[in-house]
Amino acid sequence: MKLSARARAVKTSPTLALDARTKDLQAKGDDIVSFAVGEPDFDTPQHVKDAAAEAIASGFTKYTATNGIPELKEAIVSKLSRENGLLYEPSQVLVSVGAKHCLYNAVMALCDVKDEVLIPSPFWVSYPEMVVLAGAVPVAVSPDQGFKVSARQLAGRLTARTKGIILNSPSNPTGAVYTRSELEDLAQFVLDHDLWVIADEIYEHLVYDGYEHVSLASLSPEIKERTITVNGVSKAFAMTGWRIGYAAGPSDVIKAMGKVQIHTTSNPTSISQKAAVAALTGPMDTVWSMREEFDRRRRYMTERLHTMAGFSCQLPPGAFYVFTDVRDVLGKSYRGQNIDNDDQLAELILTEAHLAVVPGSGFGMPGHLRFSYATSQSRIKEGLDRLERWLKTLE
């Protein structure tokens, strides 16, 4: 059977593929430490689980309004006002099946075939593929140095077909956080060139060292009209499996995203929506204690990686990843086998050191590896010990 050009063009997710591979090896009895996953290892807070149990017990198990239950949309409106300085009406909010689904709906609502979308690299693996699925063209924009792009670098890739930008701060895979003044420059660029921005703020609560998360749309009424803010409960409330994300933006875009959603998934799960209400309106203490723990692990992992020959990384100010430059390891060999690129290196680390890490190539930045510290401190120590021992065997 001949598959569509779309299906043939889209790539699988390297992070999910690696996660599946790790789980396969673990099922066969191999003890693999995984630094590959992008999900908090903490449990969903009890009051959130209770709200879901209550939803089931009370029979809240039917189709809901396709764009989200009013109670949850109200909770999102107050969250955005309280925490992000963003004022929206419930009609400007769409609840979807995870932030990923919001991003996809937004790309489908905004991109025409052959439109170009600027994506700062390294980028989260799904952005370019979503753009490809929409028939549009992802344009990766590399920073000159560090992990953040400037308006000047974006301008270098601007063409008559450029429609918009997908911006992620704090970033997966680097943990980079754009400052207010950097965002102001980017906002000016967007307005000057009549573009739109999808601002993925899923890691907003995971910022360290006094860094501040700033919502792009809060900078001015003009940029708010050009921005679709995407967020969700997965990372902040350890709710990855519940699949609730949300988007807020100009009414016409949100309405169009809602039309895409109606014909693809209808509503997000009724029970999860009730759980998300509890998460967004309830106490934040679990979020802050999770952040404290991530902060400890972040420092530990970065310090250890610093001491490993050929590995170079900065202390990341956000999210739960350390993106490490491993170019000095490439060119070495393991038992006579040359290590030419990050894919090979990650494969050897998996099979020989029994540690799963994600190669940078999938994020658009070869020569790097992404280490997630969303796993327990004892597993982090164990994984880094294994890596350190294995690196010493390279020639």
Residue (178 or 391) nearer to ligand PLP, CB: 178
Q: Closest separation between CB of residue 273 and ligand PLP, Å?
A: 14
What is the rounded distance in angstroms from the CA atom of residue 160 to the CA atom of residue 286?
47
98 binds ligand PLP (CB under 6 A): yes
Please select the residue that binds ligand PLP; options are 240, 265, 314, 344, rule is CB under 6 A.
240
Stretch that binds ligand PLP, among 76-84, 95-103, 211-219, 282-290 (CB under 6 A): 95-103
If binding is defined by CB under 6 A, does position 245 make contact with ligand PLP? yes
Q: How many binding residues for ligand PLP (CB under 6 A)?
A: 13
Question: Exposure of 369 by Cβ count < 10 A (0-12 exposed, 13-18 middle, 19+ buried)?
Answer: buried
Question: In degrees rounded to 5, what are phi and psi of residue 213?
Answer: -85, 125
Q: Is 204 in the site for ligand PLP (CB under 6 A)?
A: no
Which of 68, 122, 232, 249 is close enough to bind ligand PLP by CB under 6 A?
Answer: 232
246 binds ligand PLP (CB under 6 A): no
Three-state secondary structure string covering the chain: CCCCHHHHHCCCCHHHHHHHHHHHHHHCCCCCEECCCCCCCCCCCHHHHHHHHHHHHCCCCCCCCCCCCHHHHHHHHHHHHHHHCCCCCHHHEEEECCHHHHHHHHHHHHCCCCCEEEEECCCCCHHHHHHHHCCCEEEEECCCCCCCCCHHHHHCCCCCCEEEEEEECCCCCCCCCCCHHHHHHHHHHHHHCCCEEEEECCCCCCECCCCCCCCHHHCCHHHHCCEEEEEECCCCCCCHHHCCEEEECCHHHHHHHHHHHHCCCCCCCHHHHHHHHHHHHCCCHHHHHHHHHHHHHHHHHHHHHHCCCCCECCCCCECCEEEEECCCCCCCEECCEECCCHHHHHHHHHHHHCEECEEHHHHCCCCEEEEECCCCHHHHHHHHHHHHHHHCCCC
Among 116, 200, 204, 293, binds ligand PLP (CB under 6 A): 200
Shortest separation between residue 367's beta carbon and ligand PLP, angstroms = 21
Give the nearest distance from C-beta 393 to ligand PLP in angstroms. 32
Site string for ligand PLP, 1-30 (x = CB under 6 A): ------------------------------
Q: Which stretch binds ligand PLP (CB under 6 A): 73-81, 92-100, 208-216, 272-280?
A: 92-100
| Binding of residue 64 to ligand PLP (CB under 6 A) | no
Q: Taking CB under 6 A as the rule, does residue 38 contact ligand PLP?
A: yes
Name the phi and psi angles at 20, rounded to 5. -65, -45
- Which residues from 309-368 bind ligand PLP, rule CB under 6 A? none
Q: By CB under 6 A, is residue 120 in contact with ligand PLP?
A: no
Is 105 one of the binding residues for ligand PLP (CB under 6 A)? no
Please list, in sequence order, all residues whose beta carbon lies within 8 angstroms of the beta carbon of residue 223, skipping any fewer than 6 positions away: 187, 190, 191, 197, 216, 217
Candidate list 22, 234, 272, 302; residue touching ligand PLP; CB under 6 A: 234
Residue 172 as a binder of ligand PLP (CB under 6 A): the answer is: yes
68 near ligand PLP (CB under 6 A) = no
Nearer to ligand PLP (CB atom), residue 92 or residue 234: 234
Q: How far apart are the C-alpha atoms of 270 and 217, rounded to whole Å?
A: 29
Provide the minimum distance between the beta carbon of 300 and ligand PLP in the complex, in angstroms, as a whole number: 22
- Binding test (CB under 6 A) with ligand PLP, winner from 18, 76, 183, 202: 202
Question: Which of these ranges, 93-101, 215-223, 332-340, 369-377, lies near ligand PLP under the rule CB under 6 A?
Answer: 93-101
Out of 67, 168, 273, 302, point to the residue binding ligand PLP (CB under 6 A): 168
In DSSP terms, 33 is beta-bridged to 355
Q: Which is nearer to ligand PLP, 99 or 301 (CB)?
A: 99
- Closest contact distance (angstroms) between CB of 168 and ligand PLP is 5
Q: Taking CB positions, which residue lies at the least distance from ligand PLP?
A: 98
Which residues here bind ligand PLP, judged by CB under 6 A?
Answer: 38, 98-100, 124, 168, 172, 200, 202, 232, 234, 240, 245
